[in-house]
Structure 1
């Protein structure tokens, strides 16, 4: 009797266990996830995560994520989802530097496990942006791969207690195959993020699975089940899903909670700015050339200016200057990098992880930067831009967890380093300082107006301006650059402040607003550094103050020209032309106005600098011309 009872008990227990493993994998959440106030008091609910009813408590699982700026590269997506970047690159047929087109469905491998007895999940973290809500994080940022209810449970913050820069724990929806699915050959489950127009039939066709397996895996009542955007369905696979199964899809509409504004620089404005800039440049080139040569009459000068404006001879040269040509960057072998830098010897170290390298049997000196993390944005941008005043990327090398970027070598280092030295004659050249300022402004003008889309550098400072052997300036370090047409500039600003202290515009610090005017602000700080030779942040009465605040206090006062000259770099005092110095100081302060809309745009800055440069050259050569005329007489 006792043996029979034990046998029947064991049989009953196994029957219950196996029956739990043979039921449908999960139930589809439907549109209930949009209420954000669901309960699972009566048992696990699909409005939270997938139920922990698989054969294994943990497994490798996969998600789909549609590429969308700023999460459009291998490293950016892997950081967002806490997945392995190498595995993500491999399964998508990509490299660590790959940037996906907008809307590309990317397969994301994750470690899925039952951290509680109720639900499967893959864990990641997310830093909140401006005006955050659980709903926006779940359905916009993570595209339905998590839910509002599961976010609220995973974090100690109430629905109305979220603040910018808070860190959220994010449980991602994933699952492991049931016993029934394992016996039918299913090895992996992919969590597919539903978008507009999806149905069971077209999903099954695209992923080459049967409609019946989808119905069974998701507890659908019928193959005609209505699917809602921002929900997920599970797709069973007998082997790893591959990148050819994914497509480029249209981006879903943005939730109403989060409005986006486009860059104010529209094509019409761009055309007007370009035309104005070209005409101004042509005019000043002619004025300068004719003044130096003094061989042409005023009538001829006017006729040539009119002629050039009509024929566009100089505009063709300018178009060649600003053309966006995607050049092929060389892919170096790691052995080449090691040999060039003598195995990264200390004698070849420039600073930090930047090394001097000698390539092509000693014929070419280049700079090699060893980096970790996501550099795809910087690499792909540098491949597309082509301007003398922007650092040139020669090539790159991938080796294990490191990326090695190979740049043109800048013999005079950074502007900050150069300003700290004061022994050379070049430091005493007033004209040299103006040319450096103009080089920086020209580089920014190219980024702001002559690329499509326009770009914001976001980290202009004297340490990121490099000088070549001829002391011509080039902008470097594009890690923070962003497309300004896609920037959130009011309701949904950037989630965290990045950049260099002392150079960040107030609207970015206070509200995360990103626009080309923040580069203009940073340029104003650099311009004052160029003039004074001082750091952007100075000590006054034992406290730190911005350099521009000290200088600003004397503008508009009596003898402002004389007082300004007291702040000029001592190396320049003898050669300093006080009128030009005052003009440059006022230009710098105009760039540092608190309200971004009242700052000049970069083309206005370039125009002002060209006028100052032309006047300065005129003052320089006037004594020489007078002496020559005296000798002729």
Structure 2
């Protein structure tokens, strides 16, 4: 009898939770019919003007704040929670710009992963109708530019912003107005409506916000960000399904087995969640990366390629034990050794990278054969390797370069950003040091700019170059302004900017990076002069004081390289026995810009990389060159900071994308390559 009761309780519980899951799934994946109303951008009057704006976005179940950051291509600090609304709804800060077609838009991009994806489906499913479809064709692997619908208020106080909100079926005009404290007439005027009954669903509406939204989620601990978010719809559906189940058995006829099953199942779920939370806290894992299973060290080389890449952040912060690993104590081969606690003091803090045995490094690189050699720098050589079935880049350094080795460890294990190369781990032998990074499939920007045809590389398109500039600027802005401790890179150059499989840029080589200190002159660090000739700021050469503006100066040289395809120093063409002179790229570009104007840019055009085959908007080239000139100003005080540079390049990228659209898709901008006309 007891066995029958338990069995009945089990199946009653299964039926109950199946009903709950079915009901909540219906709530999550319900799609409204497409409205006859069409989303249209808000018109504007002054092209190039801009303002801060916000996107109201509902966090999908299972997604994290990092997913939203990647989707909108913003920093985590630009994502805010909303008070007084569903816990799954956040606000994303974007830069809203008046385009040359006099429409307010913000720019982002989405990587197409399936043949069935269209621009319309991406706007609807990924961006929740916050985007504006322009009829672009899609192809798998393409980085599709997405225009986000945003707005600015003319003559509005500095504390007033516009939020783009997609009106839902459950929303009412009065509820929205009261929730955000908006004026009825202002709300109707902003959305070009005549009465409150004409609000259709699934259409973007602009709501004025009297003050900046609630606190940024950028300071929330990683474990909180990684915790799955439960949407309001899910909560409501769960409650509704329970009420339905209760009502269907009204009159006290609820089976005893069902009650027992529900209680037992609930207790098991609570116990499982408690055990999981305890495990996560105990292991102190860095879960900022993604909500996927951890990396399995025993997988074969035929395992999925995304295992290590998706979990590089997890690996880089895993608290692995510092154990000795000696392949053969009686042989003369090198040993894997551990670093002493005194040596490592102050390097990692709470996060530690994975320690790989030296034997594994040898196997990964096929004992550092020439075929795996990627390049060499002042502090070591870089090799491609196959580590635990995945492609990685391994920097091999002599033990005398311990200072640079620790500098990279200190920075890269504390700083994580999509535009900074990710550290996976390290290894140490008797007389060598090794750093293991994510692998950049498309090598360094310098390889793609400086005589790429001789290296059998296809030249980069103009739009790809602008995107690379923006990605690099975002990475530098992050270490300058958005980390707990601010850093200067001190060696910004095109050979230290790497390209991933989608030609997105990542700043690399932090061996010279330094923590900056606050002084009366701002944030500075005084050191011996290091870096690469042609990129060094005059005040750094003169005084040895490195600041964020020193990195800005070097970035200006990078902009000139992206425009011209030339190196920081180029040799002049001579005839006879006259040796060629070296000219700095800065002097060449400043000469070309000396008397140019937006309407007379013949000298500048002569400097543009001929491999672009005149497939570029000359006005955008001039704007980038002008930005480069501002970055290399003699006086660091008048140089822009990286935040201003990011803002300017964001506008520049939007203008370049609009130029691309006028070509009716005849260019190869989205592949990032020029393949000819």
TM-score, scaled to structure 1: 0.50
TM-score by length of 2: 0.47
Specify which structure has the bigger relative contact order, considering alpha-carbon pairs within 8 angstroms and separated by 6 or more residues: 1
Which protein is bigger by CA-based radius of gyration?
Answer: 1
